[in-house]
Structure 1
C-alpha cells in the first residue's frame, strides 16, 4: 500500500512539473486595467548552469550566476571536508560527480549549521537555502 501511495504521489508530482515546464502560459482574452505600479516585470525561467559530467560546480550567486568554482573527483579526497576559499560562498550548485555531495553552511562541515545531501546523477540547485561554505563527496 505504501509503495502504491508513493508511486501515485511521484506520478502526480511529475505531471505538475511537466505541466509547469512544457506548457506555454494561457493567454487571457482581455486583461484588466492595471496601474503602472502594479505590473510585475516578466522574469525569464532559470536555465541550468553549465557543468560537465564528473564535476561539482558551485556558483557565487543564485540562479547559476556569479563566479563559478569547478571541482572534480580527481582533486577531492572522498569523505573529507572541502572548505571553499576563505571569504567565498556558493548559492547555487550542480552535482554531476556521480556520487552524493553534502553541502554545509559551516566552513568546517560542522553539522550544527545547515547541511543537505544532493544525489550525484545530475542535481541542479538554483538557490541554496543557506550560504554554502564547504562540502563533502561521499562513496556511493
Structure 2
C-alpha cells in the first residue's frame, strides 16, 4: 500500500513539475498566436509598425487577384503581418513585387510575423 501511495505522489509531483516547465511564460507565448485585433480567417493583415501596431491594412481573398502583385496604398508600408489566407503569401520590399529587393514567402497555415526584416510595400498571394 505504501508503494502505491509513494508512486502516486511521485507521479503527481512529476506531472506538476512538467506542467510548470511547459507553461512558463516563455513557452506559453510561443504556443499561442498573438491577439491580432480583428485579423480573421481568410485575411492577410499588414500593420504599419512592428508588433502588430499602427494602421492596419486588411485584404480578403475575394478582393484580390491570386498570383498578381498588390501594392499597399500610395506611400504605405508595413513592418508586421499575419497571413490567415490559407495560401502562401510573398511580401516584397519593392512596391512592384520586384525580386531585386528583399522578399519572403510566408506559409498560409496561419503565420504571424511581428517584425519584418524590411518595410513591406507589396505582396502576392499564391495558389495553394
TM exceeding 0.5: yes
* Structure 2 counterpart of 1:57, from 19, 26, 45: 45
Structure 1 segments, 4+ long, off by >6 Å, are: none
The equivalent of 2:92 in structure 1 is 104
- TM-score for the superposition, normalised by structure 1: 0.68
CA positional deviation for 1:121? 1.1
- Aligned Cα RMSD in Å? 2.0
In 1, the alpha carbon distance for the partners of 2:21 and 2:116 equals 21
The equivalent of 1:135 in structure 2 is 123
The equivalent of 2:75 in structure 1 is 87
CA positional deviation for 1:100? 0.2
CA positional deviation for 1:102? 0.1
Total equivalences in the alignment: 102
3-state SS in 2 of match to 1:97:
coil
The equivalent of 1:22 in structure 2 is 23
Distance of aligned partners of 1:129 and 1:78 in 2 relative to their CA distance in 1, 3 Å threshold? same
Q: Does 1:47 align with 2:49?
A: no
Distance of aligned partners of 1:126 and 1:24 in 2 relative to their CA distance in 1, 3 Å threshold? closer
Identify the structure with the greater helix proportion: 2
In 1, the alpha carbon distance for the partners of 2:71 and 2:113 equals 19
Contact 1:59 1:93 in 2 (8 A): yes
* Structure 1 counterpart of 2:109, from 118, 121, 129: 121
Unmatched runs of 5 consecutive residues or more in structure 1: 1-18, 26-45
Larger radius of gyration: 2
Distance of aligned partners of 1:104 and 1:47 in 2 relative to their CA distance in 1, 3 Å threshold? same
Contact 1:95 1:118 in 2 (8 A): yes
The equivalent of 2:6 in structure 1 is none
